[in-house]
Amino acid sequence: MITIICPKCKKKHNIDKNRIPRNEKIIARCKACAHRFPIQFTDKVHEKIKKPMPKGNRAARSISVSISKGGVAKTTTAVNLSAGLALAGYKVLLVDTDTQGQDSYMLGINAKAGLTELLTNELSPEEAIVEARKNLWLLAGGKSLAGIKRLIDRKDFGGEMTLADALTPLETQYDYIIIDTSPGWDPLTVNVLFYVKEILIPVSLDVMSLQIDIF
């Protein structure tokens, strides 16, 4: 058996290698998302796992780690999820939207700039983003994000799309964009929810945490 990974949804499919012709390009269809993609097996690689097709213009999966409750390991989850995906070979951008800036601390990074400078157009993405590990990049948070919240509030129109406007052009450069959010509600958290397509909600299994509304 060999494993083929859909380049769109990352679904793994186990296939009997003897049923696949060698040295011929065929079109495979993912049973999970119906995406069609070409694969070709040569005599040299027929026994190996076929890697996904190149990323091209495919947008990154955007995932936020969010809940209004504090102390439920949002930052720990976001950092470890990002590091794990990077170790698996995916290109990951970790975005810290918390004024505490603890993603930098956990990764051992002393970032001179970050999300604030990107949103205010003071720095380009290349200048604001720092490489934390192999395949893992960081847009750092910190106290300066308090000013960003005021900036969003002062916008007459489209304030909720401020973060999306900044991150959408970067999506083709990464496989995953993971966003760590602060507890509670603020304009930046609303921006995150307008941008991401998936939300991961960590919950502490105690009475008070389970009793609160998630959002």
Alpha helix stretches (DSSP H) within the chain: 74-87, 102-107, 115-119, 125-128, 145-154, 162-167, 187-195, 207-211
Does residue 66 share a domain with residue 20? Answer: no
Which residues span the domain enclosing 21? 2-40
Examine residue 174 and state whether it is found in any structural domain, yes or no: yes
Task: State the pLDDT at residue 1.
Answer: 62
Does residue 116 share a domain with residue 22? Answer: no
Q: What angle do CA 203, 76, 105 make, to 5 degrees?
A: 145
Examine residue 130 and state whether it is found in any structural domain, yes or no: yes
Does residue 200 share a domain with residue 168? Answer: yes
Examine residue 55 and state whether it is found in any structural domain, yes or no: no
Examine residue 49 and state whether it is found in any structural domain, yes or no: no
Q: pLDDT digits over 127-163, tens only?
A: 999 999 999 999 999 999 989 988 888 887 889 999 9
Q: pLDDT digits over 57-93, tens only?
A: 678 999 999 988 888 889 999 999 999 999 999 999 9
- Confidence check: pLDDT of 13 > 60: yes
3-state per-residue secondary structure call for 141-163: CCCCHHHHHHHHHHCCCCHHHHH
Please say whether the beta carbons of 63 and 177 come within 8 A.
Answer: yes
User: CA nearest 200: which of 106, 79, 34?
Assistant: 79
- Confidence check: pLDDT of 56 > 70: no
**CATH number where 113 lies:** 3.40.50.300
pTM above 0.85, yes or no: no
Does residue 130 share a domain with residue 84? Answer: yes
Does residue 104 share a domain with residue 16? Answer: no
Task: State the pLDDT at residue 213.
Answer: 52
Number of domains making up the chain: 2
Which is more confident, 12 or 85?
85
Does residue 148 share a domain with residue 83? Answer: yes
Percentage, residues of the chain above pLDDT 70: 83
| Least confident window among 21-30, 73-82, 96-105, 170-179 | 21-30
Task: State the pLDDT at residue 59.
Answer: 84
Give the pLDDT band (50/70/90) at residue 51.
Answer: very low
Q: Are strands 130-133 and 198-200 parallel, antiparallel or unpaired?
A: unpaired
Region at 158 (left for phi over 0; alpha for psi -120 to 50; beta for the rest) = left
| Least confident window among 41-50, 125-134, 157-166 | 41-50
